[in-house]
Amino acid sequence: MDLSTKYSEGVNSWETVIFLYNSALKEVNTKLEILNDEFRHIHRYNPIEYIKYRIKTPESIVKKLKRNGYESTISNMVSHVNDIAGIRVVCSFTSDIYRLAEMIGKQNDLTVVSVKDYIKHPKDSGYKSYHMLVTVPIFLSKGIEDTKVEIQIRTIAMDFWASLEHKIYYKFEGNAPGYISRDLRECAEIVSKLDAKMLSLNEAILQAREEEELLQKSGGL
């Protein structure tokens, strides 16, 4: 059953909905940690550097609803704000992002609702990240509730840039001077070049390691 139609207004409703979002974050975070551990077990390499998660503040939820022309109700919050529960997954390389997204998509107990690839199609500001909106079933004593979680997957460099942009956005309340926006876009290009160079370097290292292992095996024969 959809949360927006199940819960009525009131303090208890708010607390119940936030409880569900917190539970969903725990579920998705555990799945990501298991996928990372499995990948490290099989390939001796972990694609995830670190994971952060948060519940959107009431103030941010209200602002987003008003910005999009909705009244501040529990029903509208659940129906129209998709990033109340958010997980940020930071990887070393862009190749890790797509590998991890594919692994997430194959989870039987997660439903991928939508995908936004801001890496292949960056925002005008220069923002890059891979967004997945998923629902996860929360098993309660009275039944199952499918709850939305937004997963953002990005590289360390992308995360550094996005954090700086976020601070500037709030400092200037979304109206940063033109030269700052221009410099941010230039930095986004630098970040893209850095990610591409680091990926190329990593691939060269892996190839060199494979060649060395082949030489050692042939020498042993």
**Active site amino acids:** 150
Q: How many CB atoms lie within 10 A of CB 145?
A: 20
Token duo for residue 152: 């953002």
Q: For residue 151, give the nearest of 35, 22, 52, 48 by alpha carbon.
A: 52
Token duo for residue 194: 């850095």
SS3 for 110? coil
Distance CA 146, CA 149 (A): 10
Token duo for residue 208: 């060199």
Q: Are 87 and 152 in contact (CB under 8 A)?
A: yes
